[in-house]
């Protein structure tokens, strides 16, 4: 139980284009979703926190106009990297928090999405 599906797992795009990454909770309602960025051989850095139906809260230094986060339903959050540039190339990971089937709070990670901007 408590599965999070993240799509796509790999994406290559041209500089200047926008890319959307989806994060879905498959068997529980995710009241909160977190988006992280991981550079090679580095830790995960929290980018933003989103609660269903509310605007995302971005961490200091993260451009909210560049990394658009939508959490319109309890099972889906999207991260859109707008006007992507090579420096945006990274591994993006979502995690979802909510009450699982047993009623206990769960926190589960997606498998991540590797973005390469040419």
Kindly report the backbone phi and psi dihedral angles of residue 89, in degrees, each rounded to the nearest multiple of 5, phi listed first. Answer: -60, 125
Annotate each residue in 53-92 with x if it binds another protein (CB under 8 A) or - if it does not, as one string.
----x-----------------------------------
Q: Which residues contact 7 (CB under 8 A, 6 or more apart)?
A: 21, 22, 24, 113
Out of 97, 98, 115, 117, name the contact with another protein by CB under 8 A: 97
- Is 111 a binder of another protein (CB under 8 A)? yes
Two tokens, residue 98: 């909510």
Q: Which is nearer to another protein, 78 or 108 (CB)?
A: 108
- Is 6 a binder of another protein (CB under 8 A)? yes
Q: How far is the CB of 61 from another protein (least distance, A)?
A: 14
**Nearest CA among 30, 9, 17 for reference residue 72:** 30
Q: How far is the CB of 16 from another protein (least distance, A)?
A: 28
- Is 3 a binder of another protein (CB under 8 A)? no
**Which residues are 97's β-sheet partners?**
32, 107
Point out which residues bind another protein (CB under 8 A): 6, 32, 34, 41-44, 46, 49, 57, 93, 95, 97, 107-112
């Amino acid at each position: 139980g408590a599965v999070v599906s993240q799509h796509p797992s790999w994406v290559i795009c041209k500089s200047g284009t926008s890319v959307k990454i989806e994060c879905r909770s498959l068997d529980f309602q995710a009241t909160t979703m977190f988006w992280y960025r991981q550079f090679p051989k580095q830790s995960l850095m929290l980018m933003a926190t989103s609660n269903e139906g509310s605007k995302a809260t971005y961490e200091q230094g993260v451009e909210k106009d560049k990394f658009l986060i939508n959490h319109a339903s309890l099972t889906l959050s999207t991260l859109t990297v707008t006007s992507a540039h090579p420096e945006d190339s990274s591994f993006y990971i979502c995690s979802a928090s909510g009450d699982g089937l047993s009623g206990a709070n769960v926190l589960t990670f997606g498998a991540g999405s590797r973005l390469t901007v040419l």
